[in-house]
Structure 1
Amino acid sequence: MTKLRSRSVLQGAFILTLAGLISKVISAGYRVPLQNLTGDLGFYVYQQVYPILGIALILALYGFPAAISKIVSDIGDDSSPLSIPSFYLPVFWWVMMASGIIFVTGFFSSPWIASVMGDEKLTKPLQTAFLVFLLVPFVSVARGAFQGHNDMGPTAVSQIIEQVFRVGIIIGSAILVMRGTDVYTIGIGASLGSMAGAVAAFSVLFYWLMKKREMWTWRRWDKHVSYKRTIFLHGILICLNYMLLLSLQLVDALTMVPNLQKAGVTLEDARMWKGIFDRGQPLIQLGTVLASSLALALIPSVTRSRMTQNPDQVKKSVVSAVKMTVFLCVGATAGLIFLFPAINQSFFQDVQGTSALRILMIVILGSSLSITLSSILQGLDYMKQTAMMIAGGLIIKWAGNMLFIPFLSLHGAAISSVMAVAFVLIGNIVTLRHEVPWGNWTSLPWKGILISLVGMIFGLWLAKMLAFLIFDLNARLPLLLYTLSVSGFGALIYAVLLLRTGSFTNEELHVIPFRKVVWKLSPKGLDQ
C-alpha cells in the first residue's frame, strides 16, 4: 500500500511537472511576438505589471494549493470526507483574506507604486493587475482539494487552459496597440487575460469537483481544525522558491527607470531601455524551466522521512537531480551567450542591448541550480532557510541596481541580477552540505562537462563561420532559421559529447529517452 501511494505521488508530481513545463514554454514563447507587435515600449509596459500578475499566478498554482493539499492529506489520514461548512468555506475564507489584503493594499497603493517606478501612466494598469488576486481563492481551493487526494490531472489541465486564455487575450491587446491604441492598453489587457484565464481554470476545476461528489459533504465536523497557520505560513514559504526570477523582475520594475534617469537618460528613453533589457526575461525563464524541470521531477522522493529511512538512496537522488540541472543549465547558458547577437536580431528585430543581455544570461545558470537546490532543501524541511536566502538575494539585487545602474546602465542591472542569484546559490549549497557532504559532489563528471562545453562552442563557432560564408543572413527570416538550426546542432553536439565522455551512470541511462541509441553512444554501454 505504501509503495502504491508513493508511486501515485511520484506520478502526480510528474504530471504537474509536465503541465508546468508546457505552460511555462507558452508563457515564455508568447513574449517574442508581443515585443514584435508592441515594440520595446509596449514590452516595457507589460513587464512593469507582469511581476504582480506572476505573483498572483504562483499563489494560485503553487503556494495556496500546496498548503491546502497538506491540510487535505492530514484530514485524509483521519478518513474524514471534506466538509463544505467545516473545510471548504473556512479555507476559502482564509485564502480570500490573504488575497484580499494584497488586493486592497496594492490597489490603493498603485499611484504610489507607479510614481516609484517613475511612470505615473502605469497607475491604471497596476490597479487592474491587483484585481486578479480576488480570483486566486477560487482556483486555489479547488486545486488544493484535488492535489490533497493525489489527483493532479485537474490542476494540470486547468493550468494549461489558464495559460491559453491568458496568452490569447494578451496577444489580442497587442494587436490593438499595433493598430494605434494607447500603448498602456497592453498592461490592462495582460490583467484582463489573467482574470479570464483564472475564470476558465476555475470552470474546469468546478466541473471536475462536481463529478467527484465523494470528495465533499455538507456534514459539519465535530472537531475544530485550524487552517490559518498552514495557509499563511506554509503557502507563502513555498511560493518564495518559485518567485526568485519574478522577484528580480519586480525589483527591476521598481528601480530601473528612476536609476536610468539619474544617469541622465530621458523618461522616454529610459522606458525604451527597460523594454530592451526585458528581452532577456523570456529566454531566462525558458532556459531555467528546461534546466530545472527534469530535476524537479526527481525531487518529490526527497523528504525528511526518506532521508531518515534510506539516506544513501536520497543522497543519490539529490546528486542526480543537481547533476541533470548542471548538464542542462551550463549548456543553455553557454549556447545563449554565444548566439545572442543572432537571437536578439532574429527574435527582437535588432541587436540593441546585446552585451548587457549576454551578462544577464548567466542568471540561467544560477537560478536553475538555486531552484533545484531550494526544492531539495524544502523537501528536507529547510523552508525558512531557503526563504531567507531569497530575501537576501533580493536585498543584493535592490542595492546593486541602486549602485550600478546610474553608472553602468543596463550592464549594472545585469550584474546585480547575477550577484543576487549567486548569493542564493551559494547559500543553498552551504545549507545543503549539512545533509549531503562535500565529498558527494566530487563524483560529478566535471571533466566530461568541460569537454562537452568546449566541443559545443567550437561546433557553434564553425557552424557560424560556414553559415555566414555561404548564406546571406541579413534578413530576419533566414537569420531565424539559422538561429534555430544552429541551436539544435549545438545541443546535439553537447549531448553526444556528454554521453561519449561517460558523464551518465548506467542507472541514469535507463531513464533517458531513446535508450538504444543512447547506450550505443555511451563508451561502456549497458555495462557502465
Structure 2
Amino acid sequence: MNGKKSNPLVKGALILTIAGVLSKILSAGYRIPLQNITGDIGFYIYQQVYPILGMAMMLALYGFPSAISKLGADIQAKGENVSFRHFYVPLFFILLTINGIIFIILFSSAEILATYIGDEQLYPIYQLTAFVFLLVPFLALLRGGFQASGDMHPTAISQIGEQLIRVSIIICAAVYISFYGMDLYMVGYAAIYASFAGGIVASIILIWFWFKKKPTYHIGGSLVPWKPYIKTVFIFGMVASLNHMILLLIQVVDVFTLVPSLVEYGYTQEQAKKWKGIFDRGYPLVQFGTVLGSSFSLAIIPTLSKQKSNKNVHILSDLQSAIRMSFYIASGAMIGLIVIFPEVNILLFQDDYGTTSLQILACSILLSSLTITSVTILQGIGDVKKSAFLIGIALLLKWYLNVFLVSHWGITGSALATIFSLLALCILAIYILKRKLPLFSLFKSIHWQAFFMASISMIVFLLGMKWILPATITLSRLSLLMMTLFIVVIGGSLYLFILIRCHAFTKQEISVLPFSDKLSRWMKGEHRDE
C-alpha cells in the first residue's frame, strides 16, 4: 500500500524537477542574447531588476505553493475534507496580506533604493516592480491547491508557459529597443511587463486546468486555524523558499553594493555600470551549472518526509547519494567552464572582458550546488529555521566582503566575496547535517581516485584541443561555436565515462541520469573485465 502511494509522490516530484530544470535553462539562456542585443549597460539595467522579479517568481512557484500543499495534505491525512471557506479563502487573505506588505515596502522605498544604488533612473522601475508581487497570491493559491491533491502537472505546465512568454517578450523588446535606438532603461520596464504577461498566462493555464478537472471543495468546515496557517505560510512558505533563492539573493547584494563600490574603486558612474554588466555575465553560466549539479535535490523533500515518518534505514544512503551526485556533476561543470571560459566569453558575449574574475566566479557552481542540496536536506529533515539563519549569515558576509573587496580589487573582489560567502554557507550546512546525521560523511562517500582521474583527463583534453585548434581571434563566431560545442561534449563525455568506469556512481545513481541505459553499459563493461 505504501509503495503504491509513494509512486505518485515521487512521480510528481520528478515532474516538478524536470519543469524546474527546463525553466531554469530558459532563464539562464535568454540573458546571453539579451546582453548581445543591448550591450553591457543594457544587461546591467536588466540585472538590477531581475533578482527582485526572480524572488517574486520563486515565492509563487516554490515557497507558498509548498506551504499550501502541506496544509492541505495534513488536513486530508486526518480524513477531513478541504474546505473552500475555511481553507482557501483564509489562505488567500494571508497571501494577499504578506505580498501586500512587500508591495508597500518596495513601492514606498523605491526612491531610497535607487539613490542608495547610485542610479536614480531606476526609481520608477523599482516602483513598477512592486506590482509583480500582487500576482503572487493568485498563482500560489492555484498551484498549491493542485499540489495538495497530488497533481503536479498544472504547476509544471504553468511554469514552462510563464517562462516561454516572459523570455519571448524580453527578447523581442530588446530587439525593438536596440533597433530604434531607444533609451536602454526601457529594458527594465520590458522585464517587468514580461513578468506580468508571464504571470497572467500562468494564471490562465491554471484556471483552465481548474475548470477541466472541476474539483469539488467542501463548503463547510470548522473554525479557521489562523495561527497554524500563518505560521506555515510564513515559515514553510517564505523561509523555506530561501533555498531556491540563494543565487538570486547573492545577486541582490550585488544590486545594492557593486556599483557604489566600483565607483569607490576608481571608475566613473558609467564605467561602474558597464563593469557591473560584465560581472553579471557570469551568473547565467553559474545558474546553468548549478541546475545541472542540484536539480536532483528538488525531488528529495517529499521522499525525505515519507522516510522520516517511516524511520527508513535507507535515508542516509539516499542523502549521501544525492549530495555525491551534486559534487560530481557540479565539479565537472565548474572545471570545464574555468578551462574554456576565454573561448566561452568571446563566443557568448563577443569580447573577453572580465575573464579572470568570471573564472573565479565559476567556482560558485560547485559551492552553490552543494549548498542547495545540503540546505534542501536540512529542510527535509525539519531544520527549516536553521537553514534560513545560515543563508542570512552568508548574505551578510557577502555584503561586507563586497564593500571591502570591490573597493580594492574591482569585480574580482565581488567574485571572491561570492565564493567566500557560499563556501561559509556550504561548510556550515554540511557541518549541521553531520551533527544531525552522525554517520553522514561527504568526503568519505566520494571516490576521490576516480574524481581526480576524470578531472585531470578532462583538463588535459580541453587544453590539448585548445592548443591544437586555431586561435580564438582567427575564428568566426560560428566556427568558434562549433569548436566550443565539440570540445565541451567530448570533454564532458570523457569526464563522465571515467567516473562510471571507475565506479564513482552506483547503478541506482546511473539510473536517474539521462541515457541511463547506454551509460550503464560502461559500468557493465568494467564489471565484465573484473
Q: Please tell me whether the aligned partners of residues 87 and 224 of structure 2 are also in contact (alpha carbons under 8 angstroms).
A: no
Q: Please tell me whether the aligned partners of residues 259 and 402 of structure 1 are also in contact (alpha carbons under 8 angstroms).
A: yes
User: Is 1:254 paired with 2:268?
Assistant: no
CA-to-partner distance for each residue in 1:399-435, whole Å, 9 max, x for gaps?
A: 0001000110000000000011001100111001123
Q: CA RMSD in A?
A: 1.8
Q: Quick one: structure 1 residues 513 and 55, their matched pair in 2 at CA, closer, same or farther if it must change by over 3 Å? A: closer
SS at match of 1:385: helix
What residue number does 1:182 align with? 183
Which whole-Å CA distance do the structure 2 matches of 1:331 and 1:515 have between them?
18
User: Is 1:446 paired with 2:448?
Assistant: yes
Mapping 1:376-387, distance limit 5 Å:
376-387=377-388
Which whole-Å CA distance do the structure 2 matches of 1:34 and 1:515 have between them?
35
CA-to-partner distance for each residue in 1:359-385, whole Å, 9 max, x for gaps?
A: 000111100000001111111001111
Which whole-Å CA distance do the structure 2 matches of 1:15 and 1:214 have between them?
21
Task: Kindly provide the amino acid, as one letter, of the partner of residue 256 in structure 1.
Answer: L
Which whole-Å CA distance do the structure 2 matches of 1:496 and 1:338 have between them?
19
Which whole-Å CA distance do the structure 1 matches of 2:129 and 2:79 have between them?
40
Q: How much does 1:97 deviate?
A: 0.5
Q: How much does 1:314 deviate?
A: 0.4
CA-to-partner distance for each residue in 1:481-522, whole Å, 9 max, x for gaps?
A: 211221111101101111121212233344444455334322
What residue number does 2:65 align with? 65
Task: Kindly provide the amino acid, as one letter, of the partner of residue 222 in structure 2.
Answer: D
Which whole-Å CA distance do the structure 1 matches of 2:455 and 2:196 have between them?
43
SS at match of 2:272: helix
What residue number does 1:10 align with? 10
What residue number does 2:115 align with? 115
SS at match of 1:465: helix
Gaps of 5+ in 2: none
TM-score scaled to structure 1, two decimals?
Answer: 0.96
Q: Please tell me whether the aligned partners of residues 51 and 249 of structure 2 are also in contact (alpha carbons under 8 angstroms).
A: yes
Which whole-Å CA distance do the structure 2 matches of 1:204 and 1:260 have between them?
44
Q: Please tell me whether the aligned partners of residues 506 and 527 of structure 1 are also in contact (alpha carbons under 8 angstroms).
A: no
Q: How much does 1:473 deviate?
A: 4.2
Deviates more, 1:98-107 or 1:230-239: 230-239
Task: Kindly provide the amino acid, as one letter, of the partner of residue 95 in structure 2.
Answer: V
Which whole-Å CA distance do the structure 2 matches of 1:283 and 1:358 have between them?
11
What residue number does 2:343 align with? 342
What residue number does 1:270 align with? 272
What residue number does 2:462 align with? 460
SS at match of 2:460: helix
User: Is 1:157 paired with 2:157?
Assistant: yes
Mapping 1:298-337, distance limit 5 Å:
298-303=300-305, 306-307=307-308, 309-337=310-338
SS at match of 1:220: coil
Which whole-Å CA distance do the structure 2 matches of 1:229 and 1:377 have between them?
19
CA-to-partner distance for each residue in 1:312-361, whole Å, 9 max, x for gaps?
A: 30001001101110111000000010010100001001000001000000
Deviates more, 1:249-258 or 1:294-303: 294-303
Q: How much does 1:480 deviate?
A: 1.8
Task: Kindly provide the amino acid, as one letter, of the partner of residue 407 in structure 2.
Answer: P
What residue number does 2:508 align with? 507
Mapping 1:229-244, distance limit 5 Å:
229-244=231-246
SS at match of 1:214: coil
Q: Please tell me whether the aligned partners of residues 251 and 398 of structure 1 are also in contact (alpha carbons under 8 angstroms).
A: yes
What residue number does 2:371 align with? 370
What residue number does 1:30 align with? 30
Q: Percent identity?
A: 40
Q: Please tell me whether the aligned partners of residues 434 and 440 of structure 2 are also in contact (alpha carbons under 8 angstroms).
A: no
Mapping 1:59-98, distance limit 5 Å:
59-98=59-98
Q: How much does 1:225 deviate?
A: 2.6
Which whole-Å CA distance do the structure 2 matches of 1:472 and 1:316 have between them?
49
SS at match of 1:397: helix
**Length, aligned pairs only:** 525
Q: Please tell me whether the aligned partners of residues 299 and 317 of structure 1 are also in contact (alpha carbons under 8 angstroms).
A: no
Q: How much does 1:42 deviate?
A: 0.3
Which whole-Å CA distance do the structure 1 matches of 2:223 and 2:57 have between them?
33
Which whole-Å CA distance do the structure 2 matches of 1:490 and 1:527 have between them?
24
CA-to-partner distance for each residue in 1:162-200, whole Å, 9 max, x for gaps?
A: 001111111122112212111000101101101111111
What residue number does 2:484 align with? 483
Which whole-Å CA distance do the structure 2 matches of 1:162 and 1:278 have between them?
23
Q: Quick one: structure 1 residues 313 and 102, their matched pair in 2 at CA, closer, same or farther if it must change by over 3 Å? A: same
Q: Please tell me whether the aligned partners of residues 262 and 407 of structure 2 are also in contact (alpha carbons under 8 angstroms).
A: yes
SS at match of 1:216: coil
Q: Quick one: structure 1 residues 319 and 383, their matched pair in 2 at CA, closer, same or farther if it must change by over 3 Å? A: same
Which whole-Å CA distance do the structure 2 matches of 1:251 and 1:515 have between them?
40
SS at match of 1:504: coil
Q: Which residue, 285, 288, 293 being the options, matches 2:287? A: 285
Which whole-Å CA distance do the structure 1 matches of 2:504 and 2:259 have between them?
45
Task: Kindly provide the amino acid, as one letter, of the partner of residue 213 in structure 1.
Answer: K
Gaps of 5+ in 1: none
User: Is 1:136 paired with 2:133?
Assistant: no
Q: Quick one: structure 1 residues 80 and 485, their matched pair in 2 at CA, closer, same or farther if it must change by over 3 Å? A: same
Which whole-Å CA distance do the structure 2 matches of 1:151 and 1:310 have between them?
26
Deviates more, 1:183-192 or 1:499-508: 499-508
Which whole-Å CA distance do the structure 1 matches of 2:216 and 2:323 have between them?
37
Which whole-Å CA distance do the structure 2 matches of 1:439 and 1:251 have between them?
33
What residue number does 1:496 align with? 497
Which whole-Å CA distance do the structure 1 matches of 2:447 and 2:2 have between them?
35
SS at match of 1:312: coil
Which whole-Å CA distance do the structure 1 matches of 2:235 and 2:514 have between them?
39
Q: Quick one: structure 1 residues 109 and 511, their matched pair in 2 at CA, closer, same or farther if it must change by over 3 Å? A: closer
